Structure 1
Amino acid sequence: MSSLEYLDLQSSELDDEIPDTIGDMGSLAYLDLFRKSTGSIPDTVGKMVLLSHLDLSQSTAGSIPDTVGKMVLLSHLDLSAINCRAPFQIQLGTWFLLKNSISLRIIFKLAPDFVACANDTLETLSLSDNQFNGSVPALIGFSSLRELHLDFNQLNGTLPESVGQLANLQSLDIASNSLQGTINEAHLFNLSQLSYLDLSSNSLTFNMSLECPPRLVLECNHLNCHNLELSGKIPEWIGGSLPNLIVLNLGSNRFSGVICPELCQLKNIQILDLSSNNILGVVPRCVGGFTAMTKKGSLVIAHNYSFTRCRYHKASLVEISDLSVLDLSDNNLSGKIPQGTQLQSFNIDSYKGNPALCGLPLLKKTATLVLAILAWLNANRCPSFYD
């Protein structure tokens, strides 16, 4: 079988041990052993120098040999959800990767030889859901990179400003790490093609003008800044310069002040989360103009506690007819929930914690919810002037 080029054993019932003789398949370019290995991967796998695709995902390997890191033609390596019983270190510097889908359960530093593997053809680098620790290295030399996913790791330190030199980057996800420091205009200024940015669940802050947007906003349609260290007013440019924005998550920060009127310009917004901040004022009437939310979108403005009491205007919210999620809980909203609208189709949890809000939510009544509805009405019956 020395001339075999393609081998897919993921659906086979063959013995799960990978034999040493697999290295004799010198012409093999594609090898898929999904869920097939329960023992150590033999060192001889490194002899398959023509291998461009290697899938060992969801395997239980005793160890992974260093020779895997010497496969210089690999364009796809999938070790996702692998359960390795021994620590190892792959020599990243020998890879010339076009795509990389790694999800290891191993702890080792990302930084030492990461830069050495840079080349100007690498387009996708996904190291999500690992246990990589250490700092994010300078990303110099990855001029063709379009996707960089480092989310759900244990990375710390600051995000290098060299990220801002990745002019072809379209997707950047560094969520759920322990990164600290400040994101400034140098990080974002040259990312004019960026459409997906997820910085959530880090200890990051922004150092940008409220009025002057970075270039990234021209194309960005997904911006997730949930659970950062952001404070002050919501930047005006988020609404005024994001014509393509579909998802905006600013929840669990320390934003204060009123919802800026510039957010009313988000005509394509489908998911908006402003929950768990210190926002005050009124729910803008223009929220009813977010007609893109009719595509089963979500509106979450919960747990702000500081909204002034305001009546619902007919033009506010009622035009949104096909929301899949609505959470207005734990604010100080007041007024009557409009009848005959989708707003009545959400259950009581969507409105709880608003003692001056009145009317009847939940058109879809069931026997198990009758007592809850009666209790709501008893505490939230509308005064006659709302009729």
Structure 2
Amino acid sequence: PIFHQCQFYKSLLVLDLFWNRLTSVPKSIFCLHGLLSIVLSGNSLEGPIPDYFGNTSFLEVLDLSRNHLNSSIPNSLYSLNRLQFLSLSSNQLQGTISMDMTNNQLSGHLTNQLGQFKNLSYLSLAQNKISGPIPSSMGKLSSLKFLSVSENQLNGTFPLCFGQLESLEILDFGYNLLEGVVLETHFSNLTRLTTLKASHNRLRFEPNSSWIPPFQCRIIELGHWHLGPKFPQWLNFQKKLSLLDISDAGISDVMPTWFLNFPTQIGYLNLSNNQLTGEISYLNVRCIVDLSSNEFTGPLPRVFPPLGHLILSNNSFSGSLFELVCNSSNGEWMEVLYIDRNLISGEIPDCWNYWRYLGLLNLESNNLIGKIPPSLGYRDLLVLNLRNNNMFGELPATFRNSTSLMMLDLSENHFNGSIPAWIGDKLSMLQVLSLRSNNFGGHIPRKICDLQYLQNLDLAHNNISGTIPKCLSNLGAMVNRSNHSYSMHRSTIISNFFYLSALLVLKGREDEYSTTLGLV
């Protein structure tokens, strides 16, 4: 037997047994755990590939080509996460192949030899540093069902060869540098496609208005493509859609009626950063809606449970908040409500009792008047932003209950009274407190100094008198950006988009900034 005493060969790095007459892989080599390269090509190896290769965890090169190996590829080969070269050519292997190399440090270009893996059914090279074009040989992967090359640095055009992948069900090439024009023929044979993720590329897709896609997708992500100026008519034929992202897609059109009457309830809808116009009477979306930065007008749309995130920022919605807030079923599951930078008028209604999961409320830059409703203080908010309205009155005592509040921005209103001392006691999680440009009077309570996580305190342009508490110098979080030790027990509700924004004013210059403040 070869290497029957492993201790004498434990420092061996390269094993080359090329062009011999071996009929099986010697088991004794699998005790050589430090091997970097094993070459057994050109032998007469028979039977299945041994599982023992999974023990050689440092292996970078494995060449088993030109043998008589059969059966399928064992899962143990997929655990060799340092492998850089694998050759199994000229054997009698059967079955399908799965290859998952997600989240590594792979670099360089994709080889044209990928097309040789005719039985490859699953290929993920996502989250690496792969650059260059996608090789046309990938169109030969006739068994491929899953392909992800997302979050790399791939450039060039979107190859026509993808239209040949008749077995493909999931395609993800988002977050790359691909550019150019995508044609209808790119999708001509993708009849089994259920997931198309391709956001954050530089691609343009303007099919004929009569084009009917050959697929029925559940997930479509084409954010940052150029799909406009007309609203994509071909989406009318996607009857199984549950997630749609066509944000920042150059669409400047009226929201079509057929889209509002979609036959299925979409789970996630992102139409943000377009120039969509018109009124929206209702939204039949199950989980998350983002219509921000468009040109929608009219009253706020009706929504239905179990909608959790409603983001309507930076539009021209007008009218009252009453119907949205006081219809008890609307707020039953709502976690995030952003209606900032619109034309909403009237008072904030005092019927927040049913909004038991509300965490983020942003009503900044509207035409709101009146006082802060007491019932809002009973919601365990993380963020409350009422900046730049025409509101007045004092901060309700019910806000003593908002013990999870991290951002409170009441700036640019007409609030009055003294700054409550209980802010320092009860709102101990505050990181942003902005009361700028109001009518607050009295002195700065010393209890403010107890806000150990406070990073932004703005009390300018009020009627505050007295001395500045010396203990403000103890607010170490303003200079120390180290990770906080406290547990964010409700951070799961803020999903992937949560940020805190505040207005930082230095020497008369106003800068809006966004920061995760160590939360995500």
TM-score normalised over the length of structure 1: 0.75
Confirm whether residue 325 of structure 1 aligns to residue 359 of structure 2: no
Which residue identity does 2:322 align to in structure 1? Y
Confirm whether residue 310 of structure 1 aligns to residue 320 of structure 2: yes
CA distance in 1, matches of 2:88, 2:223: 33
Tell me, which stretches of 5 or more residues in structure 1 are unaligned? 382-387
Q: 1:247 matched to which residue of 2?
A: 268
Q: 1:20 matched to which residue of 2?
A: 38
Q: 2:61 matched to which residue of 1?
A: 41
* Alignment coverage as a number of residue pairs: 355
CA distance in 2, matches of 1:187, 1:332: 38
Q: 1:291 matched to which residue of 2?
A: 305
Alignment equivalent of 2:362, drawn from 332, 343, 350: 350
Tell me, which stretches of 5 or more residues in structure 2 are unaligned? 1-21, 381-398, 418-520
Q: 2:311 matched to which residue of 1?
A: 300
Q: CA deviation at 1:299?
A: 1.1
Flag the structure with more relative contact order, 1 or 2, with Cα contacts below 8 A and sequence separation at least 6: 1
Choose 1 or 2 for highest CA Rg: 2
Given that 1:70 and 1:95 are in contact with CA atoms closer than 8 Å, whether structure 2 keeps it comes out as: no
Q: CA deviation at 1:16?
A: 5.8
CA offsets 1:226-251 (integer angstroms, 9 cap, x no match): 22111121222222124232211111
Which residue identity does 2:136 align to in structure 1? P
Q: CA deviation at 1:214?
A: 3.1
Given that 2:202 and 2:225 are in contact with CA atoms closer than 8 Å, whether structure 1 keeps it comes out as: yes
Which residue identity does 2:151 align to in structure 1? D
Q: 1:385 matched to which residue of 2?
A: none
Q: 2:297 matched to which residue of 1?
A: 280
Give the 3 Å change call, closer, same or farther, for CA 70–208 of structure 1 in structure 2.
Answer: farther
Confirm whether residue 196 of structure 1 aligns to residue 219 of structure 2: yes
Give the 3 Å change call, closer, same or farther, for CA 49–227 of structure 1 in structure 2.
Answer: farther
1:243 match: secondary structure: coil
CA distance in 2, matches of 1:357, 1:36: 67
Given that 1:77 and 1:99 are in contact with CA atoms closer than 8 Å, whether structure 2 keeps it comes out as: yes
Confirm whether residue 170 of structure 1 aligns to residue 194 of structure 2: yes
Q: CA deviation at 1:161?
A: 0.8
Q: CA deviation at 1:184?
A: 4.6
Listed as ranges, the matches of 1:259-270 within 5 Å are 259=280, 261=281, 263-264=282-283, 266=284, 269-270=286-287
Which residue identity does 1:65 align to in structure 2? F
Which residue identity does 2:132 align to in structure 1? F
2:200 match: secondary structure: coil
Given that 1:57 and 1:78 are in contact with CA atoms closer than 8 Å, whether structure 2 keeps it comes out as: no
Q: 1:227 matched to which residue of 2?
A: 248
Which residue identity does 1:107 align to in structure 2? S
Which deviates further from its counterpart, 372-381 or 17-26?
Answer: 372-381
In terms of fraction of residues, the more strand-rich structure is 2
CA distance in 2, matches of 1:325, 1:282: 19
Given that 1:146 and 1:171 are in contact with CA atoms closer than 8 Å, whether structure 2 keeps it comes out as: yes
CA offsets 1:289-330 (integer angstroms, 9 cap, x no match): x1232xxx21111122x2224342267664221222222222
Q: CA deviation at 1:280?
A: 1.8
1:113 match: secondary structure: helix
Q: 2:164 matched to which residue of 1?
A: 141
Give the 3 Å change call, closer, same or farther, for CA 205–41 of structure 1 in structure 2.
Answer: farther
CA distance in 2, matches of 1:253, 1:113: 36
Give the 3 Å change call, closer, same or farther, for CA 253–195 of structure 1 in structure 2.
Answer: same
Q: 1:384 matched to which residue of 2?
A: none
1:76 match: secondary structure: strand
Which residue identity does 1:352 align to in structure 2? E
Confirm whether residue 80 of structure 1 aligns to residue 97 of structure 2: no
Q: CA deviation at 1:113?
A: 1.9
Given that 2:305 and 2:333 are in contact with CA atoms closer than 8 Å, whether structure 1 keeps it comes out as: no
CA distance in 2, matches of 1:222, 1:356: 33
Given that 2:218 and 2:242 are in contact with CA atoms closer than 8 Å, whether structure 1 keeps it comes out as: yes
CA offsets 1:45-103 (integer angstroms, 9 cap, x no match): 78677653566679456xx3374788875510122223246656251221222111222
TM-score normalised over the length of structure 2: 0.57
2:228 match: secondary structure: strand
Give the 3 Å change call, closer, same or farther, for CA 271–16 of structure 1 in structure 2.
Answer: farther
CA distance in 1, matches of 2:204, 2:176: 14
CA distance in 1, matches of 2:159, 2:407: 58
Listed as ranges, the matches of 1:372-383 within 5 Å are 372=408, 378-379=414-415
Given that 1:282 and 1:310 are in contact with CA atoms closer than 8 Å, whether structure 2 keeps it comes out as: yes
2:276 match: secondary structure: strand
Give the 3 Å change call, closer, same or farther, for CA 87–111 of structure 1 in structure 2.
Answer: closer
Alignment equivalent of 2:237, drawn from 181, 205, 215: 215
CA offsets 1:329-370 (integer angstroms, 9 cap, x no match): 222212323424345874675222224155334433347969
CA distance in 1, matches of 2:111, 2:406: 60
CA distance in 2, matches of 1:186, 1:35: 56
Which residue identity does 2:117 align to in structure 1? W
Which residue identity does 2:37 align to in structure 1? P
Alignment equivalent of 1:127, drawn from 125, 149, 154: 149
Give the 3 Å change call, closer, same or farther, for CA 223–185 of structure 1 in structure 2.
Answer: farther
Q: CA deviation at 1:179?
A: 0.9
Given that 2:335 and 2:359 are in contact with CA atoms closer than 8 Å, whether structure 1 keeps it comes out as: no
CA distance in 1, matches of 2:55, 2:361: 43
Which residue identity does 1:137 align to in structure 2? P
2:203 match: secondary structure: strand
Confirm whether residue 65 of structure 1 aligns to residue 79 of structure 2: no
1:203 match: secondary structure: coil
Q: CA deviation at 1:185?
A: 4.9
Q: 1:236 matched to which residue of 2?
A: 257
